[in-house]
Structure 1
Amino acid sequence: MTLLRSDGVWLNEPKRWTAEDDRLQVVTDKGTDFWRETHYGFYRDSGHFLGFPTGEAFTASLRVQGDFQTLYDQAGIMVRIDARHWVKAGIELSDGRAMLASVLTDGRSDWATAPYEHDAGDFWVRATVADGVLRLQVSADGKTWPLMRLAPFPAASSYLVGPMACTPERAGLEVVFSNFRLTPPLGKDLHDMS
């Protein structure tokens, strides 16, 4: 699997990006974000997302390397049905530190964060969708995958999944995505971290 697959579709293609071998390098545009309504009352669907089509059940993972510096700088993985039904998950800078962050949107967005105790500049993230359930995992080494979030997620016959990056407060976050894998759902026990 590679980020150079011909079936990838950009949503809000960044002005600056390059792809070579298994690496996608993105530099974010100014004021980019994904958010719907909750607390802030606005809708934003301007973040950068390179989506690859899936069937009704899958596991997707990728490596993310970035230099998060400014409030709300973020990068990771997105699973998307449409503008009202999606999830984004990865690292987001908040309250002066890098946080594990996920936003699950089913009409309106929520936001869940937790401190990330490893190198936020180099991490892996995994999303599994099957039978109306979303499982998010994060890894510091690509080998051990503790649970980040488990939640209901709308069932669909197909999804788009792939790398996502946003900078609501600035432009210029450089992110390298690599090691993209898209497979049938792993089907592992909830506490199996492999």
Structure 2
Amino acid sequence: MDMQYHWLNEPQNWSLDKDVLSVVTDRNTDFWQKTWYGFERFSGHIFAREVTGDFTFQVRVRADFTTLYDQAGIMFMADEKHWLKAGIEFNDDAPAIGSVLTLGHSDWATGVFPGEAKEFWMRLTRKQDSLRLQYSTDGQQWPLLRLSCFPEREKCAVGVMCCTPERGGLAVQFDHIQLTPALDKTLHDLT
């Protein structure tokens, strides 16, 4: 992994061995802006690098999600009030696939994950002011999770994230981290 990645809210316990990033979340970490709860939080862990222009970012995530709001996946951000996070989040007594788009206020879209949530893949493609978010149970087939507009900014950051609003101690591994030019596939191409 290239050394252009850096921590925002560095966890107390983490290691990078070859191309595997291992993290144990700190206590009561989270990302959220206002909606429903009223609070603002930006204390979760992000290991990211600066990006400009169009790109595709992809990663495999492994964790055992057991506690309300345990979460891990990817994050794309311009600043504390403008970001997208996506991955598995434990809620309603099960790990679910979901995303939160925050443009001043956070929204939350979630659904049933069709595989074993202890291992999954995430992919984000940025093309101008559009974000295409996909997930995979096997790293081969990539259903669409979200298509959204995100204000064009010259510089943003993309990387992996994890947090545990109700506890600490979620062990997460991130590997197969790739940042490439934007994949130029049709919207419903699942490869």
| Same-fold call, TM cutoff 0.5 | yes
73, 97, 103: which one pairs with 2:100? Answer: 103
The match for 1:193 is: 190
With normalisation by structure 2, the TM-score equals 0.98
**Whole-Å separation in 2 of the counterparts to 1:119 and 1:156:** 36
Say whether residues 1:121 and 2:118 are aligned partners: yes
Mapped contact 1:35–1:43 kept (Cα < 8 A)? yes
**Whole-Å separation in 2 of the counterparts to 1:64 and 1:96:** 20
The match for 1:73 is: 70
Say whether residues 1:87 and 2:84 are aligned partners: yes
Aligned length: 191
Letter in 2 for 1:133: S
148, 153, 162: which one pairs with 1:156? Answer: 153
Residues 63-95 of structure 1 deviation map (CA, whole Å, 9 limit, x = unaligned): 000010100000000001100110000000000
Residue 8 of structure 1 and its aligned partner are, at CA, apart by: 1.0
Q: Please say which of residues 149-158 and 116-125 is displaced more in the overlay.
A: 149-158
19, 22, 44: which one pairs with 2:19? Answer: 22
Residues 91-116 of structure 1 deviation map (CA, whole Å, 9 limit, x = unaligned): 00000001011000001100000000
Letter in 2 for 1:54: V
Residue 57 of structure 1 and its aligned partner are, at CA, apart by: 1.1
Q: Percent same amino acid at aligned positions?
A: 51
**5+ long unaligned stretches in structure 1:** none
Mapped contact 1:53–1:159 kept (Cα < 8 A)? yes
Mapped contact 1:56–1:159 kept (Cα < 8 A)? no
Q: CA RMSD in A?
A: 0.7
Say whether residues 1:144 and 2:161 are aligned partners: no
**Whole-Å separation in 1 of the counterparts to 2:156 and 2:178:** 15
**Whole-Å separation in 2 of the counterparts to 1:184 and 1:153:** 18
Residues 43-65 of structure 1 deviation map (CA, whole Å, 9 limit, x = unaligned): 00000001111112110000000
Mapped contact 1:75–1:90 kept (Cα < 8 A)? yes
Mapped contact 1:32–1:46 kept (Cα < 8 A)? yes
Residue 152 of structure 1 and its aligned partner are, at CA, apart by: 0.8
